[in-house]
């Protein structure tokens, strides 16, 4: 190793940032015919149709999260967790995209094929 910052270091940084970008964008290349949103909590899964505009409040691990489905987009309106990462996550609409609330152990995912769906509510 050298002791001064050299050109390869910038390549290394760039490579990692590109990797981050690729992982971030990967869901967009996924399923575009996604029709359902799956909310997973401590107690199990619930699946809702993307076509129905509605608000759902789920509770898990002593936190509650309010999820809104509108115009086939899903986002978190409100959450009782401390960091509010889920609220700031923005809207998801493509198959495979996920919003996670780690303190509440809740994940909200867009899923597509009929095979993913065991039952649907609404």
Partner 1 sequence: MPLAENKTHRLVLDALLLSIALIFSYVEAIFPLTAFIPLPAFKLGLANVVIMLAVWIVSSIDAVFISLVRVVVMGLLFGNPVSIWFSLGGAVLSLLTLVILKRFASLKFSFVGISVLSAAAHNVGQIIFATAFFGVKTVFAYLPFLLVVSTVFGAICGALVNFIFPKILKLKVKK
Distance CA 53, CA 51 (A): 6
Least separation in angstroms between residue 53's CB and partner 1 is 24
The answer to whether 11 contacts partner 1 (rule: CB under 8 A) is yes
Residue 50 or 101 having the CB closest to partner 1 = 101
Q: Exposed (0-12), middle (13-18) or buried (19+): which is 64, by Cβ within 10 Å?
A: middle
The answer to whether 42 contacts partner 1 (rule: CB under 8 A) is no
Residue 40 or 60 having the CB closest to partner 1 = 40
* 66 Cβ neighbours under 8 A, 6+ residues apart: 55, 56, 57, 76, 77, 78, 79
Applying CB under 8 A, the span of 47-55, 61-69, 77-85, 114-122 interacting with partner 1 comes to: 77-85
By C-alpha distance, which of 28, 25, 53, 47 is closest to 111?
A: 47
Distance CA 75, CA 92 (A): 6
- Rg of the chain's alpha carbons, rounded to an integer? 18
The answer to whether 112 contacts partner 1 (rule: CB under 8 A) is no
Applying CB under 8 A, the span of 10-18, 46-54, 64-72, 112-120 interacting with partner 1 comes to: 10-18
Binding site for partner 1 (CB under 8 A): 1-6, 8-9, 11-13, 15-17, 19-21, 23-24, 40, 82-85, 96, 98-100, 102-103, 107, 109
């Amino acid at each position: 190793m050298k002791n001064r910052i050299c050109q390869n270091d910038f390549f290394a940084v760039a490579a990692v940032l590109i990797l981050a970008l690729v992982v971030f964008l990967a869901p967009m290349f996924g399923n575009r015919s996604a029709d359902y949103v799956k909310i997973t909590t401590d107690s199990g899964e619930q699946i809702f149709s993307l076509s129905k505009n509605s608000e759902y409040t789920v509770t898990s691990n002593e936190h509650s999260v309010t999820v809104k489905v509108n115009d086939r987009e899903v986002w978190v309106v409100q959450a009782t967790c401390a960091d509010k990462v889920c609220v700031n996550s923005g809207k998801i609409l493509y198959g495979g995209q996920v919003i996670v609330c780690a303190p509440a152990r809740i994940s909200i995912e867009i899923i597509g094929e009929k095979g993913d769906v065991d039952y649907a509510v609404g």
